[in-house]
Structure formats: structure tokens, C-alpha cells
Chain A
Amino acid sequence: MKKILALMVVFLLVVSAFAGCGSNNSSADNNSEAQSNGSQDSSPNSDSTEKTELTFWELSSKQEALEQMVEEFNSTHSDIEVTVSYFEVDGIKDSLKVAASSNTLPNMWFNWGGSLGGFYAENDLIYDLSDYADSHGWYDLYNPGALNLCTLDGKLAGYPRSYNTIGMYYRTDIFEEYGLEVPTTFEEFENVCAVLKENGITPISTAGLNGWHVMRFVELLVEHYAGAEKHDALNTFATSWDDEDVVQALTKYEEFVEKGYLPEGFVTFDPNDTQLLTFSGQAAMDIQGPWYDGNIISEGQDMEDYDTFAFPSGGTNRMSAFVEMIQLNANNSEAEVDASIEFLNFYYSDENTEKYSDIYNLPLPKKGAPMPEGMPNVENLLSMSGENGTFTITDQAFVPQVADALFDVQDAIATDAMTPEEGAKTIQAAIEDYFAQQ
């Protein structure tokens, strides 16, 4: 009797397990069916009584304001429900790769241009917005340069959200205290660093964990020694990195480290913490983009104490630039695309950009977009980049494994584990290795 009872219990367990799998499968099937059908004829969400549910991956720096915006959007749009997941800068890059390989990308996600966003365009994972842009007048609405940088692998790979140029933020009060002028030549810049160091101030705040913040300085040195034309050729791998100008740039970087112009132990500092030294007055300069004005405001700093200049790399003093976008999933149905754009238009509406100005990289990349109030460096950076010209930021010009090789070289030179000559050869070897793998 007991055995029969036991058998029955086990039978029920097994059946319920299968039933569970079955119901999951059927729901997954429905979902995938919805997606595939939707991409063809948008049927799943065409019923006005059905909610279009959207998932969105965004940077955690936007969380506080975006949560309020999403709540407002969801409450005013009975047919759309947006759910947001938040990630750190490096976390979102890795999480997107994981999602891409398991076919679980959200409906829309934040991404950068260049090789980072290009991966999804090249692998047909993004919704090509070219036709949408044509039919909705985006080419009259958006800055052509921003749309151009969002065009990857021949597709308009995302909703353009910002066009950023990176400059040298500096503490005006510290410069005044030591009688320093904004440097106009590289030699003057070195002199500024020397004076600051003599007075116990770290000249440049930077952080090496993940590599990209230190890269902002190294790429300026490459621009200085190689010049604009060769730098562009280096970034497109058209010329070898095992080059005398690259060696000189890396040698100068080594010299800056040895002289203590970068913070003690910077190679493992978190890039989110570079502002600690600058805001506390322990460091005088930080290579940042227009979002830094928002940080200055949100951390209660006095904007009067901050100004920007273009690094005097020589030539026209070109500045590093990159674009940011929101990419849409290639599997989105037409209804999901429409709902996504509706949400993004709300997210980047004039009303919200004014209300939550410190979380946006303003101005928006729209024609005639107003400059944000109380953020003078945003306009400075934009006008300087317009006059000086720009180059693509290195970690978007490079594929990730080559960028990581550069980051390793930065670490190795800073810790005396490698000479600049070896560094240049190592970067070139990583490039050749990448091409050999393709």
C-alpha cells in the first residue's frame, strides 16, 4: 500500500515537473512566436487592449531620475509598460554580450558607438532605424554628425542620445593660487604639472581599473607625438603601433607616472572615484566629458571653481569624441519599435531634459538644441571641439581585445613591468593576433 502511495506521489511530482516545463515552454514559445510574428506583421501588439511590455537596460547613473520618469510614463500610457534594469559602465558591456549570445537581449539598451555598439550591428542584433529615421524626419531633427556616428555597418544602429567630446577639466581656484595660466603648448602643460606637483597637488586625477580612464590621457599623448593624420591611421590599424611616435608617447606617459603627475596607486583606482581627488582639491585636473558638469552640481561643488581647456596636443588640439545611443532589438515587433520610440521621445523630451538636466549629456544631439543652464563647460567643450576637430575615442576605435592590450600596456609601463618599446610592440602584436583570428 505504502509503495503504491509512494509511486503515486512520485508520479504526481514528475508530471507536475513536466507540466511546469510544459507551461514554461508554451509561454516561451508564445513569446518567441510573438517576436517572430511581430517582426513580420506586428500582430501581437496590434490589439489596442494589449499592453506592449518593454525591457530597457540603462546605466545606473540615470537610475534616480529615470525611475521617476518611467513611473510617470507607465501611468500615462495604459498601453505600454516599461521595465528598466540598471548596470554600471563596464557591467552593461559584459551583460549585453551575455544576453546577445543567449538571445535574451532586452527590447532596448544603452550603448556606445564604434566597436562597442558595432558588434551588435555587425551581428544583426539591432533594429536598423534607417527607414524609421527617413519616414519620421530624423535627418531634419538630429545633428547629422551624431546620426553619422550612430551609423554602424551600414545601419542606423540606435536612437542618438548624446555626442560627447572630452576635454581637460581643471580647478580654477588651484590654478589661481599657484599663478598658473591655461597651457597653450605641450611644454606649458608640462610646466603646469611640475608647479602643481611641487606644491603637493596631484596634477591629473585618473584611475586605471578597467583601463579606459588612463587611456584618455595616453591617447592625447599619441595625438601629440603622432599628429592627427597618423593618429587616425593608428586607430584604424592602417599603420603599425610599433612606431617611434607611439614609443615617444608611451615614454612620456612613463615619465608622468614617475614624476607623480598621476595619483599614487592609480592603476587600480575605480574610474568612478577620480572626482574624489579633484573635488577635494588634492588633484587639479581630470579628463572628462560634458556630464562632469552634472557631477559638479550633484556633488555640491562650486561651478566657478571649474573650467575646461583642450589638451595642447599640437596641430588644432583635436579632442577625443564619442557618441552614445539607445539600440533597439532586431526582434522587436513594429508595435514594440513604435512603443520604444515613444518612450525614448518622452525620456529625451524638452520637459524631462530640463527637469532632470544633471543626468543628461546635454545638449541633446538635435539641431538647435538649447544649451543647459548652469553648465558652462558643456558649451565650452562643444564649441572647442567644433573649432579644433575630433578623433574617435580609442576604446571605441579599437576592438575590445586590442583595447585591453593597450590597457595592459598602460598598467605594465606604470608598474615598470614593460618598457615603452615593448609596449608598442605588444599593442601591435594584439592587433595582428586579432586579425589572425578573423
Chain B
Amino acid sequence: MKGKKSIDWPAYLFMLPALIIYISVIVFPVFYSLYVSLHKWNGIGEMEFIGLSNYVKLITQDDIFLIAIKNNAIWIVLTVAFITAISLGFAVILNKQFKGRTFFRGFFYFPAVIAPIAVAIIWRWIYNPNIGFINEFFGAIGLDFKQNWISNPETSLYAIFIAALWQGIGQPMIIFLAGLQTVPVEVLEAATIDGAGSVRKFIHVTIPMMKETFIIVLATLIVAALKVFDVIQGLTGGGPNNSTQMLSTYMYSQTFKYANVGTGTAISVIMVLIMIFIIVPYVSFTAKED
């Protein structure tokens, strides 16, 4: 006979300190931002309630906001396609037994520990059209291929992405590396006995068994792609002519440069909604499959 399930009060009490912190620094600011986004406010004076005007204006009249949305979408696609693929590739290679493996793991992870703003400064010099490494390199090998890598609106976003890629592969690579080590050797051996080649084993055994790892990597990469700020701000500040403007950089300008705090927080609310729109279906879909 089962007794009545008692409430585990100590468990709730243990959660209380974290809950208080979470409510005060996460939950309250989220709802306060939502409240502020419905107002016209310069951050100091009186707030004036204007309903959804900030949102309507952003979506229907603000060309820079639409450029930022488009750039964020491109950035997410590039991140998912390239950072995932390259970091997975590195993880697979570095999961094999070879001499110097530990050194190369550290070597490829190294850019991830550099502050993004420092990455921006490093790459600004690399891309400098007059004395930068890339153009000098092309010159040294006899190629007349001088480019304004980040000053050209056609190439600037992709040039910044390469800088972000250089820094961004380390973190997912480590997570993939951990994921690869959870794949049981017996299962891979069984697949080998069944006649599966390396590629088939990787596609049909390794990847499906790393589903949780992919959820973590993709979810964190998508969130990071939507929030990307430092490397953009450091390299181009959203320019030239807003061609690298992102939702985060535009939110920053509206809030802290122009003192349009209502508009800035409206952008941040839209960012959260986009994140929810992308992440929740992805995670719930993959969870259902289990």
C-alpha cells in the first residue's frame, strides 16, 4: 500500500536562494523590458504609454531594423552551416588517436578564450586594406587582389563572420568531442562487423547517438548568433552604412546612443520572440523523437 506522497520541503528551500536571484535578475527584467517597450522613454524622464507604437514603427517604417533582421537571419544560417560542420569535423579528427592530439586540441580551442572585442581588433588589422595581412599576403605571392574586406558593404558581413568563425569553433568542438566519446565502441564495432564503412558508421550510428549533443550545440549557436554583438561592434560598429547592423547593435544604438529606451527594449523583446520561435520547436521536436 502506497503512502501519501509528502512534499519535499527541504528541496524547495534549497531552490529558494537561486529562485530569488533568478526572479530578480532574469524574470523581473524580462517583464520590465516588456513594460518599457510599450512606452516612449529617454531612460531618465517620465515614461509615456504609447501601446505597440514602437513595434509598429520598427516593423513598418524602420529600414535599419529590417536590415538587422536580414543580417541576423544570414548570420544564423552561416553559423549553423559552417560553425557546426567545421567544429564537428575538427572534433572527429581530434577524437582519433595520433601523436600531438592534446596539443592540437588546445591549439584549435585557443581562439575561444580570446575576448570577442580583442578578436575584432586582431581582425581589423588582418583586413586593413593598406597594411593588413591578407592583402600583404596576396601581394607577396604576386597576386594583385587588394580588397576592402570590411569596408565593402557587399563583403563586410561575410568578412566579419570569418573572424567570428575563427573564434567560434572552439566551444562547439569541445562539446562535440565530449559527445563523440559517449558513443559506445561496441556499437561501432557491431556496425563494422555488419559491413558498414566509416562514412556510413558516422552518418547512421555516430550522429544519431549524439542527438543530445547536437541539441545543445545548435541551440547555443543559434542563441549566440541572434545575440552577436562584440565582434560586429569592434570591427565595423554596424557599418558601413548599416550593412553589418544586427538586432543587438541596433538595440544598443537606440537605447544607449539615442536614448530611445522604449524602441531599444522593443527590439530586445522581438529578439527574445525570435529566439523562442526558433529554439522551442527545434528542442520540442527533437525531444519528441525520443
Contact = CB atoms under 8 A, between A and B. Distances in A.
Interface of A: 3, 6-7, 10-11, 13-14, 17, 93-94, 97-98, 100-101, 119, 123, 125, 208-211, 263-270, 276-277, 282, 399-401, 404, 407-409, 411-412, 414-415, 417-418, 437
Contacts of A94: 252, 256-257
A267 B239 contact: yes
Task: Summarize B's interface: helix, strand, loop or mixed.
Answer: loop
A7 B14 CA distance: 8
B151 interface: yes
21 contacts: A6-B14, A11-B13, A13-B17, A94-B256, A101-B261, A123-B42, A125-B44, A208-B240, A265-B148, A268-B150, A268-B156, A268-B235, A268-B240, A270-B124, A282-B130, A401-B258, A401-B260, A404-B258, A407-B239, A412-B241, A417-B241
Given A14-B16, A268-B150, A270-B124, 14 more contacts: A3-B10, A6-B14, A7-B10, A13-B14, A101-B43, A208-B240, A265-B130, A265-B149, A268-B240, A269-B128, A411-B241, A414-B240, A417-B243, A437-B40
A147 B109 CA distance: 55
A209 B241 contact: no
B195 interface: no
Given A97-B43, A267-B151, A277 B130 contact: yes
Interface string B30-71: 000000000010111100000000000000000000000000
Interface string B239-268: 111110000000011001111110000000
Given A265-B128, A282-B130, A400 B240 contact: no
B10 to A, nearest CB: 4
A408 B62 CA distance: 14
B44 A123 contact: yes
B129 A415 contact: no
Residues of A contacting B: mostly? helix
A408 B16 contact: no
Q: Which 3 A-B pairs have the closest CB atoms?
A: A101-B43, A265-B129, A10-B13
Contacts of A13: 14, 17
Contacts of B9: 7
A414 B14 CA distance: 60
A415 B10 contact: no
- Most chain B C-beta atoms within 10 Å of own C-beta, residue among A101, A125, A276: A101
B153 interface: yes
A10 B13 CA distance: 6
Contact of B17 (A17, A265, A437): A17
Contact of A97 (B146, B150, B151, B256): B256
A208 B151 CA distance: 9
A211 B239 CA distance: 9
Contacts of B149: 265
**Which of A6, A265, A401, A418 has the most B CB atoms < 10 Å from its CB?**
A265
Given A263-B130, A401-B258, A408-B241, A101 B10 contact: no
A340 to B, nearest CB: 22
Contacts of B148: 264-265, 267
B125 to A, nearest CB: 9
B129 A264 contact: yes
A84 B131 CA distance: 35
- Of A13, A14, A411, A418, chain B has the most CB atoms within 10 Å of the CB of A411
Contact of A100 (B13, B40, B44, B260): B44
A405 B124 CA distance: 24
B170 interface: no
A264 to B, nearest CB: 5
A268 B9 CA distance: 59
B10 A93 contact: no
Interface in B193-240: 235-237, 239-240
Nearest to B15: A10
Given A14-B16, A97-B256, A408-B241, A268 B44 contact: no
Given A7-B9, A97-B256, A97-B259, A268 B130 contact: no
Nearest to A409: B241
Nearest to A95: B256
A94 B256 CA distance: 6
B178 interface: no
Given A268-B235, A415-B241, A404 B253 contact: yes
B152 A415 contact: yes
Contacts of A3: 10
A261 B160 CA distance: 26
B20 interface: yes
A94 B130 CA distance: 30
Contacts of A210: 237
Q: Which of B10, B156, B260 has the most CB of A within 10 A?
A: B10
B257 A100 contact: no
Contacts of A268: 124, 150-151, 156, 235-236, 239-240
A11 B17 CA distance: 10
Contacts of A93: 257
